Amino acid sequence: MVGIPQVIFILTLSILSPSVAQQASETYEQEQGPKIDLRVCTAPGSCNKLSTKLTMDSNWRWIHKVGTYKNCYTGNEWNTEYCPDPDTCAKDCALEGASKAKYEGTYGVEEIPNGISMKFVSKHKYGVNVGSRLFFMAGERSENYYMFKLKNEEIAFDADMSQLECGMNGAVYLIEMDENGGKGKNSNAAGAKFGTGYCDAQCPHDIKFVDGKANNKDWQPNPKDKSGNMGNGHYGICCNEMDIWEANSMSNAFTPHPCLETDDDSTPIVGAVPC
């Protein structure tokens, strides 16, 4: 899946509704997201190659107490010893890097010629991983997301969706994330390198950390999540979303999701959600 062109470009694999520790750790694994090349063209036949890499959304990453193997989040529940409140949790817990072997073995994400392959379900020694969400970085050594400037630009990519059955969803879309992943907000010391700062127009409540604080207030495990990993907290995080392409082996869609600033007296607009 390859893309070319002020927003973030995302690759995701999920069951229609997809499922962030804020300290950073590479104590146990170095971050080694898959490499991928973008081709940025200014005219027909005039293209420059940008060698970059992808990073996994922090919601999929191992969250542990800083400097230890002890989990801050296990299954679909927070460890109340390390996460008694949002601020303490964000200060004492870290997102761990993911090695190339973990990307492949745990998340089912691996490099292929001119792109990447993403598995929907990956069984590993610690359980089962379902889906994934990846972001483009600005370069192989950059710690910022690549910002796609869309005005008067074209995006092109190829994708093989033949293995995604009805009810599954592979998507390429853009959202208004901070270039640095919100690094520096409250206790977010991890930033884009570790996949922090996700938002979308559905105002997801399953994001484990929002703006540098744990989303553990009123957290409830999601009974419909068969992987036993997801839940919903008190806070959702909203932003504009442009779904360039959503598809499985049966169908595809192109869907704008605007986000509107509203007040109590506003009239809802179909297809939009409050910011």
The H or E element spanning position 88 is helix 86-92
Length of the chain: 275
Interatomic CA distance for residues 168 and 120, integer angstroms: 9
Known catalytic residue at 96: no
Cα(194)–Cα(81) distance, integer angstroms: 24
Contact 105, 94 (CB under 8 A): no
Bridge-partner residues for 170, per DSSP?
13, 247
State the DSSP H helix or E strand holding residue 243, giving kind and residue range, or none if neither.
Answer: strand 241-247
Contact 240, 176 (CB under 8 A): yes
Is 165 known to be catalytic?
A: no
Q: Using CA atoms, how far apart are residues 34 and 267, in angstroms rounded to an integer?
A: 44
Nearest partner of 12 among 166, 133, 193, judged by Cα: 133
- Looking at 31, 104, 143, 246, which residue is catalytic? 246
Catalytic (active-site) positions: 241, 246
